[in-house]
Structure 1
Amino acid sequence: MPLLSLTWTDHVTGRRGFLVVDRLVRGVASGGLRMRAGCSLEEVTGLARGMTMKEALHFDADDPTVRYVPLGGAKGGIDCDPREPDAYGVLVRYLRAMRPYIESFWTMGEDLGLTQDTVDRAAAEAGLVSTIQAVHPLLDDERAARQRLADAFAVRVDGLGLDALVGGCGVAESVLTALDRAGTAYRGTRVSVQGLGTMGGATARFLSRAGLRIVAVADVKGTIAHPDGLDIESLLAARDPYGTVDRAALRPGVLELPGDAWLSADAEVLVPAAVSYAIDTGNQGTIKARWIVEAANMPVRPEAEEALTARGITVLPDVVVNSATNAWWWWTLFGDIGPHAEEAFAHIRRAMRTLVGTMLTRAETGRTTPRAAAHTMAAARLQVIAERYGWYR
C-alpha cells in the first residue's frame, strides 16, 4: 500500500484530482502531475509506484562522487481534459489544495496533458515558490542549484527546449541499446510512435537522426504514415502544444490513417508515448513489431504483455525507458551535471546504456522479461536505500 493516497474534489466544477505518495526518502517524494479525462486513483497509484522504482534504478550506491541521492516516488492526477476551457482554473485550484504537500514533501513537474510552463504559471498563482521546493533543504547550495536548473531550462536545441528533449534522448538510447544487442542496423529499422508530445516528439527526433525511419506517428486526429519515413522536423514544427499535427502542413504522399493504425504498422519498433493502457488483449494481436518501448507510463496492460511475450515480442518497461526526464532534473539540481545540452545528453546516454544493458542481461540470464528484471533490480536498490536513509512506511 502507498504511504499516502487522497482524492480531491473541485468545489467549482466537481472534477476530481488525486495525489499518491508511494514512498518518502529523506522525507521527500518525486513525481509529476498529469491531467487527462478519465484519470483515476488506480492509475495514479500505479504511476506513483513506478516513480519509486525509477528513482531507485538510478541509485548508484558504490560511487561516492554522485551528489544526487534518489527520492521517494509520488504522482498527481486530475480527471479533466486539458483542452477544456475551465481546465486551467481546475489546475490552479488543485495546486492550492495540494500546496501543503508540495511545500513539505512532494516535488512535482509536468506530465501527460500539461507543459512545465503551464504548471509553473499555475503554481505561482496558487502561491507556491516552486513546484520542487520540498527538495530545497536537501541541497548544499540552494541558490546555485536553483540557478543551475533555471539555466538548463533556458537552453534550446534546434528550436526545442532541453527539458523537452532529455526524456526522448533516454527513450531513443533504450531503443538503440536493444538494437545493438540484437545486431540490428539502425539504418532501415522502422519505428511507429504513438504521440508526438514532449516524449514522443523528442524520441522521434533522436531516432530519426540516428538513421532509423519513423514510418508512422499517431495523435488525437489519427495516424500519419509514410513507408519511406516521415519528415520528423516538419511534423514537430507543425504540432500544437498538445502534440497534434496540423494536417495542412503534411507533405505530398503522406497517408492519413485511422487512430489505431500505428499499432499494426510495418515496423520493427513500436513506441507508445501517449496514454496509459494503450495496448490491451483486444489489440495486441495486430502488433507486428519486434520491440515495444514504453515511452509512456503504463501503456501495456499486464495481460497483454503476457500475450506479447508468448509471441516473441520484447517489451522494454516504462520504469527504465522513460526515467531520464526525472533523473535529469535531479542530476542538474544536485550538481552532477551542468546546464549544458551536450553534457546532459552524454550523461543520459551513458546512464541509459548501463541501465538498459544490465536489465536485458538479467532478463536473458534469468529467463524472464525485462520488466521482471527491472523490478528485481529496483527492489534490491530500494532495500539499500532503506537501510542507508531509513524506511518511511
Structure 2
Amino acid sequence: MLRMTIDRDAPLMTLAWTDHVTGRRGYLVVDRLVRGVASGGLRMRPGCSADEVAGLARGMTMKEALHYDPDSRYVPLGGAKGGIDCDPRAPEAYDVLVRYLRAMKPYIETVWTTGEDLGLTQDLVDRAAAEAGLVSPVQAVYPLLDDEAAARRRLAGAFAVEVDGIGLDVLVGGCGVAESVLTALDRAGVPYPGTRVAVQGFGTMGGATARFLARAGLAVVAVADVKGTIANPDGLDVEALLAARDTYGTVDRAALRPADRELPGDAWLSAEAEVLVPAAVSYAVDTVNQERIGARWIAEAANMPVLPEAEELLAARGVTVLPDVVVNSGTNAWWWWTLFGDIAADADEAFAYTRRAMRALVGRMLDRAEAEGTSPRAAAHGLAADRLPVIAERFGWYR
C-alpha cells in the first residue's frame, strides 16, 4: 500500500530562478499560507542562498503568528521570503531585480506580498515592480481587505509621512528594535544614561534603531558600515551620521568629528558597550568571533545574525540574545496594522502602537524564558508554536 506523509516542518513551496542574462540566481520560499497569502520581504546580497531564504521564510511565519490578536483588524498572514544572489551595488543589479520580479509575477499577484529587505529599499522595489508589470508588491493581500481603495490610500499616506527628514516606513522598524532593548533594560533595572550601544549596519534598520536609542538617552559608541567602524567612547553624533549616509547606509567620513575614530569593520564586535545591535547581514556572529563580545545583550535587528552554535556559547557566558523573530518584527506588523486599519497614517500613532505592541511581546517572551529556564529565542518559538494552531483552527491549514 502506498503511504504518503506530510512534513509539517518543510516549506510549502520553494522556487529557484536563474537570470537568463547574467546567470544570477534567485529564490522564493513560501513557508506557510494563511487565507491563501504569505508575507515576507525580498533581499539582494552576494552569496544569498536557498537555505538562507528558507530560514528567513520560517522566521516570517513566526513573526506573523507572534503578532496575532483575535480582536484586531490585522489578521496575520503566512510566512515567505525572496532572495537574489547579487551585489545590489552592481551595475546590472536593477535589471536583475526587474527580471526576477517579472518571473515571480504570478506568485506576487496571488500569494506572496513582499517589500524591502537587506540590499533593497522600498522605493526601489516599488519602481522595479511597476516596471515588471505589477500593480503593487503587496497586491496579493488586496482581496482580504474590507475596503481596498481606502486601505491603499491609508498605506500610501503612511509612506508619505516623514519625521525629521526620514520616512516613517524607515523609522518604525527601528522603533520596534529600540523598544525591545529598552524593555530588556527596564526589566534588569539598568538606567538608560550610561548604557552604551554598538550598531553593525547603518541602513534602514540600524540607522533608525540608533536614532531611537540615542534619543532615549543611551550612548551610541560605535557604528559599522561597509567602510569600517566609526567609534567614540563618549558617544557619536547619531543625527549627523544619519544626515551624512547614502542610500546604502554608508557614512561620509567628512562628517566625523575630531574625536571620532575610524576602526576596522569588525571592531563593533569588541566595542565597550552593554548592547550590540547587528543590523546588517545574516551569520555575522559565529563561534569564533563571539569570543570578542563583551556586551550583556545582543538585539537582532538583522535576520539570523547570530549562528545557533554561537548563541549557545554566548548564553554560557551570560550574554542574552534578543531574537530577530521578535525584535525586528515591527516593520512587517506596521505595514499590516496600517493597511488593515488598526492605525492611521500618522507617525505619533504608529510609534505609540509599535511601542505598546513590542513591549507586550518582549515582556511575554522574557516572562516565558524565565519561567521555563530557557533562552528568549526558545520562548519566542514557543509562543509562535502556541499561536499557529489557533490561527489554523480559525482560518484553516494551507500547507
In the TM superposition, what is the alpha-carbon distance from 1:123 to its structure 2 partner? 0.3
Q: Which residue of 2 aligns with 1:184?
A: 190
Q: Which residue of 1 aligns with 2:383?
A: 377
1:355 aligns with 2:364: no
In the TM superposition, what is the alpha-carbon distance from 1:236 to its structure 2 partner? 0.4
In the TM superposition, what is the alpha-carbon distance from 1:274 to its structure 2 partner? 0.3
1:7 aligns with 2:16: yes
1:52 aligns with 2:61: yes
Q: Which residue of 2 aligns with 1:28?
A: 37
Q: What does residue range 189-268 of structure 1 map to in structure 2 within 5 Å?
A: 189-268=195-274
Once residues 320 and 267 of structure 2 are traced to their aligned partners in structure 1, the CA distance between those partners, rounded to angstroms, is 20
Once residues 68 and 221 of structure 1 are traced to their aligned partners in structure 2, the CA distance between those partners, rounded to angstroms, is 40
Once residues 14 and 150 of structure 1 are traced to their aligned partners in structure 2, the CA distance between those partners, rounded to angstroms, is 35
In the TM superposition, what is the alpha-carbon distance from 1:249 to its structure 2 partner? 1.4
Once residues 308 and 259 of structure 2 are traced to their aligned partners in structure 1, the CA distance between those partners, rounded to angstroms, is 37
SS at match of 1:165: helix
Structure 1 residue ranges without an equivalent (≥5)? none
Give the letter for the 1:289 counterpart: A
RMSD: 0.4
In the TM superposition, what is the alpha-carbon distance from 1:59 to its structure 2 partner? 0.2
1:134 is aligned, of 111, 136, 140, to 140
Q: Which residue of 1 aligns with 2:3?
A: none
1:17 aligns with 2:30: no
SS at match of 1:338: coil
Once residues 151 and 38 of structure 1 are traced to their aligned partners in structure 2, the CA distance between those partners, rounded to angstroms, is 36
Identity over aligned pairs, percent: 81
SS at match of 1:25: coil
Once residues 236 and 9 of structure 1 are traced to their aligned partners in structure 2, the CA distance between those partners, rounded to angstroms, is 36
Once residues 255 and 219 of structure 2 are traced to their aligned partners in structure 1, the CA distance between those partners, rounded to angstroms, is 20
In the TM superposition, what is the alpha-carbon distance from 1:282 to its structure 2 partner? 0.9
1:186-211 per-position Cα deviation (integer Å, ceiling 9, x unaligned): 01100000000000000000000000
1:180-234 per-position Cα deviation (integer Å, ceiling 9, x unaligned): 0000000110000000000000000000000000000000110000000000000
Pick which of 198-207 and 249-258 moved more: 249-258
1:45-89 per-position Cα deviation (integer Å, ceiling 9, x unaligned): 00000000000000013x3xx101000000000000000000000
Pick which of 285-294 and 245-254 moved more: 245-254
How many residues are matched?
A: 390
SS at match of 2:26: strand
Once residues 247 and 80 of structure 1 are traced to their aligned partners in structure 2, the CA distance between those partners, rounded to angstroms, is 26
In the TM superposition, what is the alpha-carbon distance from 1:301 to its structure 2 partner? 0.1
Once residues 163 and 303 of structure 1 are traced to their aligned partners in structure 2, the CA distance between those partners, rounded to angstroms, is 33
Give the letter for the 2:356 counterpart: R
Give the letter for the 2:21 counterpart: V
2:47 is aligned, of 28, 33, 38, to 38
Give the letter for the 1:47 counterpart: L
Q: Which residue of 1 aligns with 2:167?
A: 161
1:318 aligns with 2:327: no
In the TM superposition, what is the alpha-carbon distance from 1:392 to its structure 2 partner? 1.1
Once residues 346 and 335 of structure 1 are traced to their aligned partners in structure 2, the CA distance between those partners, rounded to angstroms, is 15
Which segments of structure 1 move beyond 2 Å, counting only runs of 4 or more? Answer: none
Q: What does residue range 10-159 of structure 1 map to in structure 2 within 5 Å?
A: 10-61=19-70, 63=71, 66-159=72-165
Q: Which residue of 1 aligns with 2:394?
A: 388
Q: What does residue range 250-289 of structure 1 map to in structure 2 within 5 Å?
A: 250-289=256-295
SS at match of 1:53: helix
1:298 is aligned, of 300, 304, 320, to 304
Once residues 104 and 360 of structure 1 are traced to their aligned partners in structure 2, the CA distance between those partners, rounded to angstroms, is 37
SS at match of 2:270: coil
